[in-house]
Amino acid sequence: MATDISVLTNPNAQKDTVKLYTFLCSLSGKGILSGQQECPRDMTKGDELAYIQKVSGHLPAILGLDYIDNDYNGTNERAKAWHKKGGIVSICWHWGIPPYGVGYPSSQESVDMEELLTPGTSLHQGFLDNMDVTAKALSELCKEGIPVLWRPFHEFDGAWFWWGKGGNEAFKKLWRIMYDRFTNLHKLNNLIWVLGYSGEMKDGWYPGDDVVDCIGGDAYSEGIHEELYTWITKQTSKSMPICHHENGPIPEPGLLALKQINWCWFLTWHTLHIHEQNSASYINYVYNHPYVITLETLPQIYK
């Protein structure tokens, strides 16, 4: 039984970050936030957003960004612009293998996890150095008071990225090291920590209620994914927002409301996933559904 503890794990979280989290916690059963992931480095020049607006007349409430390919400056500029529009910022990181890996292919390579987790080794230092570069980028957003749905090490249990290939115990150490370093050393008090499972529903990977603020899962098949939702709720003993962390086809909002599958948000993946896995008429239906919150219908959270 989940306890009713809808507070951030970081007691020093910034005021607006607390306001955003409070809003997320209040949504259960009342609506779902629309979200769209942009193409890496915005190579499509905002095509995903433009397409959604063209076919529905709306924009998503959440913009998903990625520090892939070390695109720190570009990602931060787009995050600032989205926040200025009144939208919610989500950032993931396709982290190439430490210390020198960059990009998506590198993120799927293997690394000596034992050495990486051993203090004093060059690989461990490289691991910390990589994190510190990303922390510096996030600190730029922190200084401007921009809350971030921070979703590192995504799809960890799928074990197709290096951070999952070492197994569940190693992953939990990775998560906790980053949480401690970002929260206590770098004072990144603008982060809401989002744990995103792959959708394979493997037990034993949860790093702990003290280091997770939101929990979710990915699914790239059609449906509302009731089984995944139910399974995710059982991974934590704490009441927290549960998100459809990544998706291809957007779950049908009327059915979500009817069956009380209370995903807090969906985040549709870019390029073919928004263009080919969702028809223009369906996107129009979703973005104009009364259960779906868009950028235009998003309340002024930070008032």
| pLDDT recorded at residue 1 | 33
* Sign of the torsion angle spanned by Cα atoms 257, 262, 264, 265: negative
Position 302 in a domain: no
- Helix or strand or coil: residue 281? helix
Helix and strand numbers, DSSP H then E, in the chain: 12, 10
Supply the CATH number for residue 236's domain: 3.20.20.80
- Amino acid occupying residue 107: S
| pLDDT recorded at residue 303 | 83
- Amino acid occupying residue 79: A
| pLDDT for 295 beyond 50 | yes
Position 300 in a domain: no
Position 9 in a domain: no
Position 64 in a domain: yes
pLDDT in tens, 189-240: 999 999 999 999 999 999 999 999 999 999 999 999 999 999 999 999 999 9
| pLDDT recorded at residue 6 | 75
Position 257 in a domain: yes
| pLDDT for 4 beyond 70 | no
pLDDT in tens, 228-241: 999 999 999 999 99
pLDDT in tens, 129-150: 999 999 999 999 999 999 999 9
Position 241 in a domain: yes
| pLDDT for 2 beyond 50 | no
Confidence category of residue 187, pLDDT binned at 50, 70, 90: very high
Confidence category of residue 25, pLDDT binned at 50, 70, 90: very high
Position 8 in a domain: no
The span from the CA of 47 to the CA of 51, in Å, is 6
pLDDT in tens, 69-108: 999 999 999 999 999 999 999 999 999 999 999 999 999 9
Number of structural domains the chain divides into: 1
Say if residues 78 and 52 touch (Cβ distance below 8 Å).
Answer: no
What is the total residue count of the chain?
303
Residues spanned by the domain of 193: 15-293
| pLDDT for 5 beyond 80 | no
| pLDDT recorded at residue 224 | 98
Position 270 in a domain: yes
